[in-house]
Structure 1
């Protein structure tokens, strides 16, 4: 049997991720409306857009952060599902013809291709509202004040000062050359805001989290959010459609601003590794309980999909 300390971050995560993913998948299936309840086509499409696929990075971050601070797993289910529902809604809307106009997502037809554009718009709307409903109804194990803060943080992350604002910046940047500060500002909003919210929601499920720990976790989340986007940009160039589950080369086709396009491939990788090291430095005070978060940070620049 191999020594656990000799395994790579990806190998160690492969031992832990199935349990996290199974837990959030079961919870999502429970919270989503049943496909045989009216309006059946909408509910069927909602489940199509959410269940059965995806890396589930954001809910995994909720679980790993909460566990690092001693939060019980049952208190983390609703926040984990809430961030994944917001993420799923954003993908459904991003794929629409008026946005990125993609036909493939997670290895199968995008929601508007499997159903139709109007249904896809409604799916995104309904998933977003469901996310806030299940978060507001979090169990009494999470104090009301913490639930209110989680709702506020997720709303900010999803709105015009977060993900939606980042998408607007991304659309406005099409065909333009950005400098590094502008590109990172775009992705701090578009990709990073929801990743930061995932970490913060997990932390808020712990009883009286320390302010110093919250600040450190926020720095960690900001760094891995940018690193995640860098690796996404790299994989869009080097990955295959089969491995990615979405159309490779889409950034070039849409003339989007990317890290490899701005910095070159090698410098983009270097920047990603620097961000991972910055994330790891942020966790110095958290001890062994944050080892899963450390492995996730390293995995982000190692992943192939």
Structure 2
């Protein structure tokens, strides 16, 4: 059921972006926005839609926040791929935005997608004013210097540090860089339904770390054609990762433990959270 719902939600999100961008002018920056938001696992958008279902929220209300988190995530990838950061030529098996167009266009594509994310969570059809304000405030914190951007800054600083990061330091880095947006996505349904966010926060914090460990494992064991981007870059750069610190087997065990923790956090929802539990298991079994 989970995989079917993930595919269905991905199609719904893609249709939402298609409808949204249909009203935009056909300029390189808009072409880049379409390109950057096309494809991917849509896990963050799925978490918004699934947690909204869990809280009895109308899917129509949940679609804009789902598009918003996918837009913010896409912006982060566009900027992360640029020469001034990770300098990656491939994303999802295709040329990155700065390679397909140019660096200036890529910078503007990321800027526009970030702004779009906040536009979408504040649309009147999302819900009452207090709900929209809560979504926007929490998204700003998750995506900025208290969340994702902080994690990215710590990652850049680590590249020129004299000593590799310790396990607590790499954990804190990834809780921002990868985890913060995953936590926001999982909490979004509770925020839309004005319910308790804590069980979903506990779930998503464990899920986000498991997701990053799986990424580190794929960087060692994955095939570039399957993963859709370069692999082996972390080891080549001498970066500390969960695999370098724990070993491959240790990292995989830690990811499995985190998935168990994530599933346990959902006990308050009973059988209604089965899709979320399957999502947690999916993140450590994926091949890309």
1:195 maps to which residue? Answer: 182
Asked if the contact 1:33–1:43 (Cα under 8 Å) also holds between the matched residues in 2, the reply is no
Contact 1:79/1:202 (8 A) holds in 2: no
- The answer to whether 1:263 aligns with 2:246 is yes
1:171 to 153, 156, 170: 156
Measured on the aligned residues, the alpha-carbon RMSD in Å equals: 1.3
Q: 2:70 aligns with which of 84, 89, 92?
A: 84
Distance 1:298 1:44 in 2: 35
1:91-102 matches, cutoff 5 A: 91-102=77-88
Q: Determine if the alignment matches structure 1 residue 120 to structure 2 residue 101.
A: no
Secondary structure, aligned partner of 2:229: coil
Measured against aligned partners, the alpha-carbon deviations of 1:65-112 in whole angstroms (never above 9, x if no partner) come to 111111111111000000000000000000000000000001100000
Are the equivalent residues in 2 in contact too, given 1:34–1:43 (CA < 8 A)? no
Shift of 1:252: 2.0
With normalisation by structure 1, the TM-score equals 0.91
**In 1: Cα distance, 2:50 partner to 2:218 partner:** 25
1:3 counterpart residue number:
none
1:205 partnered with 2:192: yes
Whether the 8 Å CA contact 2:186–2:200 is kept in 1: the answer is: yes
**Deviation beyond 6 Å, 4+ runs, structure 1:** none
Which of 218, 228, 237 is 2:220 aligned to?
A: 237
Aligned-partner Cα distance in 1 for 2:226–2:216? 14
Q: How does 1:1-305 map to 2 (within 5 A)?
A: 12-32=1-21, 34=23, 37=25, 40-51=27-38, 53-139=39-125, 142-174=127-159, 176-206=163-193, 208-209=194-195, 211=196, 214-305=197-288
Is contact 1:59–1:80 with CA below 8 Å preserved after alignment? yes
1:287 deviates by: 1.2
The CA deviation at 1:255 is 2.9
C-alpha distance in 1 between matches for 2:124 and 2:89:
35
Are residues 202 and 32 of structure 1, via their aligned partners in 2, closer, same or farther at CA, if it must alter by over 3 Å? farther
Contact 1:67 1:289 in 2 (8 A): no
**CA shift for structure 1 position 14:** 2.1
1:196–1:218 contact (8 Å) kept in structure 2: yes
Deviations 1:256-291 (A, max 9, x none): 221001110011011111111111110111111111
Native 8 Å contact 2:40 2:92 kept in 1: yes
Between the aligned partners of 1:76 and 1:193, the Cα distance in structure 2 is: 19
Asked if the contact 1:50–1:88 (Cα under 8 Å) also holds between the matched residues in 2, the reply is: yes
Q: Unmatched 5+ residue regions in structure 2?
A: none
Give the CA deviation at 1:16: 1.8
Aligned residue-pair number:
286
CA distance in 2, matches of 1:294, 1:41: 40
